[in-house]
Structure 1
């Protein structure tokens, strides 16, 4: 389908403004939303466009995955049921040291993007190595990709030290300037892997490049306790003193926050990436999402990587993001379905500083859309399509996806990627990683 067309869903959920529209159409011209209006009017006023009926579907903004490590999809299921630092130190980092390359990252990112697009995710805020490979994968998949350029102090096959990571980040940023679907963040990995001097340099460069910072923050109790031992303050206080909170910042996880820290995030307009499945699987804890939203913090939803989740399903994450706060607050009204859906769309866009472009079905925004078919028995009867999107629908019911007006999933089939080729690549990498583990190489 071209980038100019008209869709007629049974239900249209714009997110902003909140609510559900029936017997309405959405018009896309040149990749942007040109109008949202009654279907009868659209058929007359835009008769020159192609029209498509979606008779049992809900049309909504594309989902925004606010935190992921796409290439780690090739390590899915490699090491499960372990604490974070054991998982990282004894399994993930050793495997990455032996296998991560430009080819690994490109293949793994494409595999992840195929899964995410099939789930209705149109934007990924990534964080990994081989930044140019992630960007190329995004362009191949035609998925909106925010490339987080990982920065650490210790060496990997990708870079020898923090200066080398930064140098490679700057080169990748320069190479992809002007690409509509690709932008960059600087991504210092975490307070426990990055020095004060490097954080200060990241702040300076982010200001010069006019880009955001993406960092794991307050993910575990051990992280907080380690910061108190080493620096005498909790991680967020240390980062505040180094100027990170004065920059556009996406803070991933933020599980262990006190009241003062929540107020600090709100005051500095820090965006929080909530990763409920990963937090549960690694036993990191339950983030105080209801309190963060009550304080006015922009909260989006992320999947984290497939090695710690183990699926990249934003509909499943959105359901958890709605359910867990109800238990924490002992209040079923804590995060209603409408709020959870907003977090998965416009909330993520706000945290990324992209709310003027994506996250809701408003005139002038980029046409990042998904259609969910609610005709399945599992979503019958339908009294409230937003309720079904959050609590009942599965990713298999995502039928069509558009990014920037280009259709990337049509009736459940990829238009930009070859699933059979991706499966073959995944199998090749599986055999290579297994052979390495068996030989102890």
Structure 2
């Protein structure tokens, strides 16, 4: 018999790949942080001698959820300026508050709060888009959380950088410092077409190709953005990105609520990944991403929460449900973005968007053991006819019991063994007093 680190035996295993399949009474064998095998429990017990065995009698074991677009330090701004349109929200509230609060400590403390929330909701990986990427990366590394850290590019000065060259120089230094970290990656994170120049995009395109880095970009978030671009530049932002060479298989395009059929086809042909952030888009009245059209066209579709200042949570179970329901309304088709496809977008779709589909996103031999266990015996999830439908349309994040990242247990029966929740709460309270006082 073969010794291994960990054997997780579950009532159901939902591997995501193959698509829509559910295995009952199966086990996942893990060794050295990687999945060794997925097989029936009886076979696993006959083949392996685990150093640790976890038995999940009434749980579904799923891949860890991938939050493909977020601004996690902004968790400290949760609820700061609600019920406002996007540009007023940004210009009159968020940007002024950031100018007074942002710095290394704000970023560190916000990420600590966000990681605790994400782990308790079954999320094991995020794609980050904020300032001070050096602090972000160091914090994610310390917490053992998988993250794609964005290197911010914007045309106006911030607490992170004063000039265009400084944004590039400091960002590339962060890439060099953390490039060997097993749980971390970097992407270029130009804010949006309306805040980044052609010269910066041209430089990003060149460096993205040279370094093989994704480009994480807010794009076609609102009709207002598109109309302004047409009036000021004579072209839609997507067309401008095409002319600059940004529309390719490195592009992670976030929001994409304003799309023509031709633009959808261009995304599919170029290999663009689209991150759907339904709850943020609904809350800010930004528009509706045509998720089902994108999926049917073959576009890589992922799901993100956006930041807590505009959502106001990091609940990927809630986001999956909203994405599936909204897709049906937008497509006027009850079969649109079915449960299995929504779960795929929140797991393997996010991994594809980040360029990490060979590492995470599904329960397959050879991949990193990023896993989440979800209790399905609660009264709210009874009776149970279809596991995948129950996960998407019924399950709440409070039903996540256990989480592993690269085989390391990060949540144990709803307890975070590596996090002092009292300290996290106290830091959040101090930031609330500071930010509210400044406002």
TM-score interval for Structure 1 and Structure 2 normalised by the shorter chain: over 0.9
| Residue 20, structure 1, aligned to residue 25, structure 2 | no
Unaligned 5+ runs, structure 2: none
Determine the structure 1 residue equivalent to 2:171. Answer: 169
Q: How does 1:344-359 map to 2 (within 5 A)?
A: 344-359=346-361
Contact kept in structure 2, 1:215 and 1:250, CA below 8 Å: yes
CA contact (8 A) 2:129 2:151 kept: yes
TM-score when scaled to structure 2? Answer: 0.98
Residue 102 of structure 2 aligns with which residue?
A: 100
1:158-217 CA-to-partner distances (Å, cap 9, x unmatched) read: 211222111111111111121001110000000000000000001111122221110000
Cross-structure match for 1:221: 223
Equivalent residue, structure 2, for 1:429: 431
Per-residue CA distance 1:253-289 (angstroms, 9 max, x = gap): 0010011110111111100010000000000011100
2:275 corresponds to: 273
Q: Deviations over 1:347-384 (max 9, x none)?
A: 11111111111100010000000000111100011111
Partner of 2:244: 242
CA contact (8 A) 1:32 1:366 kept: yes
Cα distance in 2 for residues equivalent to 1:3 and 1:260: 51
- Given that 1:277 and 1:320 are in contact with CA atoms closer than 8 Å, whether structure 2 keeps it comes out as yes
2:85 is matched with which residue: 83, 86, 97? 83
Q: How far does residue 416 in structure 1 lie from its aligned partner after superposition? A: 2.0
Offset, 1:400: 0.3
Cα distance, 1:142 vs. partner?
Answer: 1.2
- Counterpart selection for 2:132 from 130, 133, 137: 130
Give the alignment partner of residue 314 of structure 2, picking from 308, 312, 315. Answer: 312
Q: What does residue range 394-433 of structure 1 map to in structure 2 within 5 Å?
A: 394-433=396-435
TM-aligned CA distance change 1:218 to 1:141, over 3 Å = same
Q: 2 CA distance for matches of 1:329 and 1:244?
A: 28
C-alpha displacement of 1:221: 0.6
SS of equivalent to 2:127: strand
1:54 maps to 2:70: no
Unaligned runs of 5+ in 1: none
**Superposition RMSD in Å:** 1.1
TM-score, normalised to structure 1's length?
Answer: 0.97
Greater shift after overlay, 202-211 or 278-287?
202-211
Once structures 1 and 2 are overlaid, which stretch shifts more, 41-50 or 379-388? 41-50
- Quick one: which of 185, 189, 192 aligns to 2:191? 189
How do 1:295-310 and structure 2 match up within 5 A? 295-310=297-312
Structure 1 residue 410 displacement after superposition: 0.5
For 2:50 and 2:61, locate their aligned partners in 1 and report how far apart those are by CA, in whole Å: 22
What is the alpha-carbon distance in structure 1 between the residues aligned to residue 52 and residue 427 of structure 2? 37
Deviations 1:377-421 (A, max 9, x none): 000111111111101110100000000110000100112221111
Aligned to 1:134, what secondary structure does the other structure show?
A: helix
User: Is the Cα contact below 8 Å between 2:4 and 2:50 reproduced in 1?
Assistant: no
* Equivalent in the alignment of 1:5: 6
**2:255 and 2:275 in contact (8 A); partners too:** yes
Residue 246 of structure 1 aligns to a residue in which SS? coil
**Paired residue for 2:290?**
288
Shift of 1:141: 2.0
Equivalent residue of 1:193, what SS? coil
CA distance in 1, matches of 2:129, 2:189: 7
Classify the secondary structure of the residue corresponding to 1:285.
coil
Q: 1:246, CA displacement in angstroms?
A: 2.9
Q: Is the 8 A contact 2:290 2:331 kept in 1?
A: no
- 1: distance between equivalents of 2:148 and 2:261? 30
CA-CA distance at 1:48 after TM superposition: 4.3
1:327 CA displacement? 1.2
- The structure-2 alpha-carbon separation of the partners of 1:3 and 1:253, relative to structure 1 and needing over 3 Å to count, comes to farther
2:4–2:51 Cα contact (<8 Å) kept: no
Greater displacement, 39-48 / 69-78: 39-48
Distance in 2, matches of 1:102 and 1:32, equals 33
